[in-house]
Structure 1
Amino acid sequence: MDLHWLKPLLGRSAPFTTVYLDATHDDATGAADVQSRWKVLRRQLEHDGSPTQVLALLDELVARPTHAVGPHGRVLVADAREVLVDRLLTEPPAQSTAACGPVPLLLPAARAADEATRFLLVELNRQGADLTWTDGAGPLGVDSEAVEGDHDEMHKVQGGGWAHRRWQQRVQDSWERNVDVVAADLDRQVTERKPELVVLTGDVRAVALLKDAVGQEVREVLVEVPGGSRAEGVNEAAFHERLDAVLTEYRARRREAVLDRFRQEQGREEEAVTSLADVVAVLQRGQVSELVLGEPPAGSPGRLADRQLWVGDGPLELTLGKDDLATIGVADGARQMPADVALVRAAVGQDAGLTFADEGAVDLVDGVGALLRWSDESTPRESVLSQSADSGRIHNVI
């Protein structure tokens, strides 16, 4: 999953304030419930020493409606002066939490990437379309625009005769030309902005015409979800339920595609590594295309929970031990950091993605692995101990 939106956190000064909030507010008391949850978290942050100006900014942001439908969460991360991350989550946290400390709590923010999909919603009728973009920051974004055709013979009528058939043909031509306008704009925008999915809904006839009119790049990411409309009065709850199902299925396929590639590369002992030591080694060299973190069973802290790494000021400056920092040229700024935070920080620093793997989905030593952009003779190689009941490995560094 793309982590580019975490880049504003790199190179920033502590303390970091992280808020992980149930932001659901559908019914009449929902907004008050969100504020009540926030007040509890705010008192905790005051006790932890979160800067006064940061708390004031968070007060303002939390008070703003999210415009999201249904249960959802929100993650906000600030440095010593400003809020740097404000992200919606498709699922609310089981318990709202907040903390202020020397490092941001990156995993809640990273999980937002795993739960999100960058998609374009196209609500189509015979005059044009409404386009709504989301960057993955929630169920629907607020970046919307309308694309209108300029042909206005819209309605076929019952009747017969040559004049009537000519009128019917003019109406058909108008539909097709208006759809062509939408298709051309859609082709351009998809090429420029690269959504993961284009979700198409609306008038059945116009939808069929558009599917034939768009180019190959749009067709490769196009999925039709019936039940939406540009007009008022549709059953929005039913449509959003169908949309959520489509997005959930897509995210499962996206995750499985990464894990399947990890299994293949691991089996070939080529562009995949596992174990904390080996992942640190390839992160130092900027080799990682996708970091893979194991998701522990519910209630379990996970294998990285108590592990610490030593880091320098740069995101790729990370080692297992303090003395190892000198070997990679780090003379100043040495400090310890929780392993999961240091790993995600390094992944963000080299434009790598992140995928979470359920327990047992792939073979991960220490609960961590990585897919690589490239490998060479110095890349760590794993030889799996077959028939072993533990997670030990022989690491052959060539």
Structure 2
Amino acid sequence: MHLHWLKPLLGRPAPFVTVHLDASPAEVAGESGPVDRWRSVRRDLERDGAPQALLDELAERIAQPDGRRDSHGRALVADADGVVVDRVLLEAPATSSGSYGPVPALGPVVRASEESVRVLVVAVDRTGADLRWGDADDGEYRRQASETVEGGHDEVRKVRESGLERRGQTRAEDSWQRNAEAVAAALDVRVRDKRPDLVVLTGDVRMVPLVRDALGQQARELTVEVPGGGRGDGIHEAAFHARVTEVVGEHRARRRAAQVEGYREALGRGEGAVTGLDDVVEVLRRGQVDELIVDASVPEGGFAQRTLWVGPGVLQVATSRSDLASIGVLDGDAREMPAEVAVMRAVVGQDAGVTFVEDADVELVDGIGATLRWADESTPSESVPSQSDDQRRLRTVV
């Protein structure tokens, strides 16, 4: 999961207001809805000293419907200049909450977030295709933009008139093939230039396999066939939408499993992965992290109970003030923050990803580990004594 949606927070001045809200609509008359739940959170924030003008802006945002009718959550983060992050979450929190302080309370929000999946839906018929772009980052596929690709060959109907029948069929099938190749060529270009995570191919049952077979390797590897969609009228949009959402969920599961397996293999080799907060901080500071692996089963345990020291730069992170000074951060620029926030800040700063796992799946000292983009002789290792001062980390992983 890439935390691109947190990038607007980088470099923003403190303090911050963070709201983690149950945004589910009221199911029956008289039941509390999002606005009522917000009022309770607001009272707590007022007691903590949050500015009234900022709370008013948050209230206006929350009062605007987000378009979801099912149970879900919403995360909002604001600084003195206004709301910076407003994100719909797949899961509603058990209790709505808010915090006002020097750093945003990102732990629960990040854990509740779903992995963003950039989806390209290709609906084909015998004359061309509609390409519909969308994002699935809150558990649902949502259409954002579309374009049309026309095949250019318009003899697409088979004729059935005595001696002309065979010739008409051949011409029609040739037109289908050429139109499929035109769609596939356009799709190859879009995949290369815009890099979707998933391509959903749907529509005419004769054209779908023709387009799939004409795709280049890069696009074909991303393509999944999903029945029920199309270009014309009569499509059951709700049913098709549900199928796409299911396919997106399966894609997330495969990607998560691949990250876990890559981490497990690298840890077993003793290279390409580290575990334990001290070693993770070391590789974060060096910009080596490809994917952060975090234990989701005990969110209040492990490294979440510790604090780290950070400087103005997003990769200036250390386990102590003295370690931060050793990399050139002046004492006046150093500040202490919860380890979970500091780690996520560094992850966003180097465009790394985050995968949450159950503790039984992999070995995670302190509930945290990482796979690496690169390593050298000074990189902490799980098979030899690490660079960390933490002597309990000197062990061999088998």
Name the TM tier (shorter chain).
0.7 to 0.9
Provide the secondary structure at the position in 1 that maps to 2:202: strand
Per the alignment, residue 264 of structure 1 pairs with 265
Counterparts of 2:132 and 2:318, CA distance in 1: 44
Counterparts of 1:31 and 1:191, CA distance in 2: 49
Q: CA deviation at 1:384?
A: 9.4
Counterparts of 1:220 and 1:133, CA distance in 2: 18
Distance 1:46 1:170, change over 3 A: farther
Counterparts of 2:171 and 2:92, CA distance in 1: 51
Per the alignment, residue 226 of structure 1 pairs with 227
2:202–2:208 Cα contact (<8 Å) kept: yes
Aligned pairs for 1:54-73 within 5 A: 54-68=54-68, 70-73=70-73
Residue 289, structure 1, aligned to residue 290, structure 2: yes
Counterparts of 1:34 and 1:173, CA distance in 2: 57
Provide the secondary structure at the position in 2 that maps to 1:129: strand
Residue 347, structure 1, aligned to residue 343, structure 2: no
Amino acid in the other structure paired with 1:234: I
Amino acid in the other structure paired with 1:130: D
Deviations 1:172-230 (A, max 9, x none): 34434443343232211111121111112222122122112222111011111222233
Counterparts of 2:154 and 2:193, CA distance in 1: 29
Amino acid in the other structure paired with 1:333: D
Counterparts of 1:104 and 1:363, CA distance in 2: 29
Deviations 1:227-284 (A, max 9, x none): 2233444334433333233222221221121111111111111121111111111212
Q: CA deviation at 1:376?
A: 2.0
Aligned pairs for 1:165-244 within 5 A: 165-244=166-245
Q: CA deviation at 1:134?
A: 2.7
Distance 1:97 1:174, change over 3 A: farther
Provide the secondary structure at the position in 1 that maps to 2:74: strand
Per the alignment, residue 247 of structure 2 pairs with 246
Per the alignment, residue 122 of structure 1 pairs with 122
Runs of 5+ in structure 2 lacking a partner?
Answer: 386-391
Counterparts of 2:85 and 2:134, CA distance in 1: 16
Amino acid in the other structure paired with 1:319: A
Amino acid in the other structure paired with 1:304: F
1:384–1:394 Cα contact (<8 Å) kept: yes
Per the alignment, residue 300 of structure 2 pairs with 301
Deviations 1:282-312 (A, max 9, x none): 2122221111111125xx6221232111112
Q: CA deviation at 1:169?
A: 4.0
Provide the secondary structure at the position in 2 that maps to 1:291: strand
Amino acid in the other structure paired with 1:371: T
Distance 1:229 1:291, change over 3 A: same
Amino acid in the other structure paired with 1:243: V
Q: CA deviation at 1:95?
A: 3.5
Distance 1:279 1:218, change over 3 A: same
Q: Which moved more, 1:29-38 or 1:256-265?
A: 29-38
Counterparts of 1:123 and 1:31, CA distance in 2: 41
Q: Percent identity?
A: 52
1:26–1:69 Cα contact (<8 Å) kept: no
Amino acid in the other structure paired with 2:7: K
Counterparts of 1:28 and 1:148, CA distance in 2: 46
Counterparts of 1:140 and 1:364, CA distance in 2: 32
Q: CA deviation at 1:82?
A: 3.0
Per the alignment, residue 388 of structure 2 pairs with none
Distance 1:231 1:41, change over 3 A: farther
Per the alignment, residue 327 of structure 2 pairs with 328
Amino acid in the other structure paired with 2:318: T
1:275–1:366 Cα contact (<8 Å) kept: yes
**Count of aligned pairs between the two proteins:** 388
1:23–1:92 Cα contact (<8 Å) kept: yes
2:2–2:115 Cα contact (<8 Å) kept: no
Counterparts of 2:67 and 2:218, CA distance in 1: 31
Runs of 5+ in structure 1 lacking a partner?
Answer: 386-391
Instruction: Tell me the TM-score normalised to structure 1 length.
Output: 0.86
Per the alignment, residue 77 of structure 1 pairs with 77
Distance 1:312 1:38, change over 3 A: same
Distance 1:46 1:172, change over 3 A: farther
Per the alignment, residue 144 of structure 1 pairs with 145
Provide the secondary structure at the position in 2 that maps to 1:208: helix
Amino acid in the other structure paired with 1:206: M
Deviations 1:156-182 (A, max 9, x none): 46x342334444444434434443343
Provide the secondary structure at the position in 2 that maps to 1:382: coil
Distance 1:378 1:395, change over 3 A: farther
Aligned pairs for 1:348-367 within 5 A: 348-367=348-367
Counterparts of 1:180 and 1:114, CA distance in 2: 35
Provide the secondary structure at the position in 2 that maps to 1:255: helix
Counterparts of 2:44 and 2:383, CA distance in 1: 47
Per the alignment, residue 317 of structure 2 pairs with 318
Counterparts of 2:315 and 2:62, CA distance in 1: 33
Deviations 1:315-360 (A, max 9, x none): 1122222222211111122221001111111111122111112121
Per the alignment, residue 380 of structure 1 pairs with 380
Q: Which moved more, 1:80-89 or 1:148-157?
A: 148-157
Per the alignment, residue 277 of structure 1 pairs with 278
Aligned pairs for 1:91-106 within 5 A: 91-106=91-106
Q: Which moved more, 1:173-182 or 1:271-280?
A: 173-182
Q: Which moved more, 1:167-176 or 1:81-90?
A: 167-176
Amino acid in the other structure paired with 1:207: V
Amino acid in the other structure paired with 2:206: R
Counterparts of 1:218 and 1:97, CA distance in 2: 43
Deviations 1:80-122 (A, max 9, x none): 2133223333333343333232111223443466433222222
Amino acid in the other structure paired with 1:317: Q
2:120–2:196 Cα contact (<8 Å) kept: yes
Amino acid in the other structure paired with 2:313: G
